[in-house]
């Protein structure tokens, strides 16, 4: 079980410092011509170890006056993997996008860690451009400290359990087994239809599921582990909506509800029978987001 323990430790519990020797690249990508004529933008921000591909359903929201943009994480979609996610820097870059293009509205759709970036960006935009209509949709949102550390402990235990269920120490087999619980919660095997859905999800995404190798997970989440949601009142005036799996094994329901209750005017919908990946397992979430844009 040495590999399994090493995987669990490196993925969930490691907190080593990462030295960045070059200026950070621009994480934002968008069509410059579309942005130039737009007065609003829908911005997608993925969670750790995730490509912007999972957020491409936002493309359907493009109009003549509304552009689409994405925030790339290190190691994905052409962004250098040696960089780390810095929440303050990320928020400032998004606020600068709004200011540079004189946008009147921004809808930020963030998954997991991406939802935290969205909230911090909303604070910056409210402070620098208070007339802008700022709307945040958090999908399977991450939570303030100490919840990321607790999530790491739960994830480490889940990874070890996945190795036992898979009867394998091969990294990919263990990770794919863990992915099934990540998507549909710890009781995924209880109902045959849920187990079949989990198998289908893994089969459909097998080639795109990334293993937590080379310290990438730490670089994506080390700043999150220190995040305490400073100054929630800075979000006053923003519209904040969350969608969260009711059996999310990473950030469970009760601490998630407590967090949402600290945010001014925030609303949350818990989706029964779904875990941390509702942007994949509950496609209706995109229809609900789209309804807020009309």
Q: Mind listing the pLDDT tens digit for each residue in 72-84? A: 999 999 999 889 9
Q: Give the C-alpha separation, 107 to 55, whole Å.
A: 13
The pLDDT of residue 5 is above 60: no
**Strands annotated E in 128-230:** 133-139
The pLDDT of residue 21 is above 80: no
Six-digit token string for 130: 């208070």
Could you say which DSSP state residue 277 is in?
A: -
Task: Please state the rounded mean pLDDT for residues 129-139.
Answer: 99
Model pTM score:
0.91
pLDDT class for 7, splitting at 50, 70, 90?
Answer: low
* Residues pairing with 66 in the sheet: 40
Work out whether the CA dihedral 197, 11, 286, 288 comes out positive or negative.
Answer: positive
Q: Give the C-alpha separation, 163 to 151, whole Å.
A: 18
Q: Mind listing the pLDDT tens digit for each residue in 254-291? A: 999 999 999 999 999 999 999 999 999 999 999 999 99
Q: For Cα atoms 172, 169, 193, give the angle at the middle one, nearest 5 degrees.
A: 60
Q: What is the pLDDT of residue 23?
A: 55
pLDDT class for 161, splitting at 50, 70, 90?
Answer: confident
pLDDT class for 6, splitting at 50, 70, 90?
Answer: low
Q: Are 77 and 51 in contact (CB under 8 A)?
A: yes
- Mean pLDDT, rounded, of the chain: 91
Q: For Cα atoms 261, 224, 21, give the angle at the middle one, nearest 5 degrees.
A: 155
Q: What is the pLDDT of residue 169?
A: 84
Q: Give the C-alpha separation, 200 to 205, whole Å.
A: 9
The pLDDT of residue 15 is above 60: no
1-12+25-294 folds as Rossmann fold (3.40.50)
Task: Please state the rounded mean pLDDT for residues 32-46.
Answer: 98
Query: Domain coordinates of the chain in residue numbers?
Result: 1-12+25-294
Q: How far is CA 52 from CA 96, 186, 206, in A?
A: 20, 26, 16
Task: Please state the rounded mean pLDDT for residues 96-101.
Answer: 98
Q: What is the pLDDT of residue 293?
A: 87
The pLDDT of residue 234 is above 70: yes
Q: What is the pLDDT of residue 19?
A: 43
Q: Are 221 and 46 in contact (CB under 8 A)?
A: no
Q: Are 13 and 156 in contact (CB under 8 A)?
A: yes
The pLDDT of residue 16 is above 80: no
Percent of the chain with pLDDT over 90: 75
Six-digit token string for 5: 């323990």
The pLDDT of residue 180 is above 90: yes
The pLDDT of residue 17 is above 50: no
Q: What is the pLDDT of residue 99?
A: 98
Q: Which residue has the tokens 């029978």?
A: 273
Beta strand pairing call for 40-45 and 105-111: parallel
Q: How many residues in total does the chain contain? A: 294
Q: What is the pLDDT of residue 272?
A: 97
The pLDDT of residue 71 is above 70: yes
């Amino acid at each position: 079980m040495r590999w399994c323990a090493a995987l669990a430790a490196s993925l969930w519990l490691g907190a080593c410092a990462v030295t960045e020797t070059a200026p950070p690249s621009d994480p934002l990508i968008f069509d410059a011509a579309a942005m130039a004529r737009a007065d609003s933008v829908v911005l997608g921000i993925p969670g750790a170890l995730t490509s912007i591909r999972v957020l491409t359903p936002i493309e359907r929201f493009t109009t003549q006056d509304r552009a689409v943009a994405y925030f790339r994480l290190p190691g994905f979609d052409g962004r250098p993997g040696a960089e780390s996610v810095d929440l303050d820097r990320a928020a400032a870059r998004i606020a600068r996008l709004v200011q540079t293009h004189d946008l009147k509205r921004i809808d930020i759709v963030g998954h997991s860690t991406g939802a935290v970036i969205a909230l911090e960006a909303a604070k910056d935009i409210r402070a620098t451009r208070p007339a802008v209509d700022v709307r945040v949709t958090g999908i399977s949102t991450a939570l303030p400290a100490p919840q990321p550390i607790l999530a790491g402990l739960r994830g480490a235990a889940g990874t070890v359990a996945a190795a036992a269920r898979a009867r394998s120490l091969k990294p990919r087999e263990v990770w794919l087994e863990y992915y099934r619980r990540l998507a549909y919660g710890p009781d995924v095997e209880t109902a045959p239809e849920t187990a079949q859905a989990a198998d289908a999800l893994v089969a459909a995404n097998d080639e795109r599921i990334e293993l937590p190798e080379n310290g990438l997970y730490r670089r994506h989440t080390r700043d999150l582990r220190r995040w305490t949601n400073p100054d929630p009142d800075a979000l006053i005036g923003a519209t904040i909506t969350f969608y969260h799996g009711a059996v999310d094994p990473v950030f469970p329901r009760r601490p998630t509800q407590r967090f949402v209750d600290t945010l001014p005017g925030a609303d949350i919908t818990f989706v029964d029978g779904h875990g941390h990946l509702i942007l994949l397992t509950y496609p209706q979430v995109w229809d609900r987001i789209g309804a807020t844009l009309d």
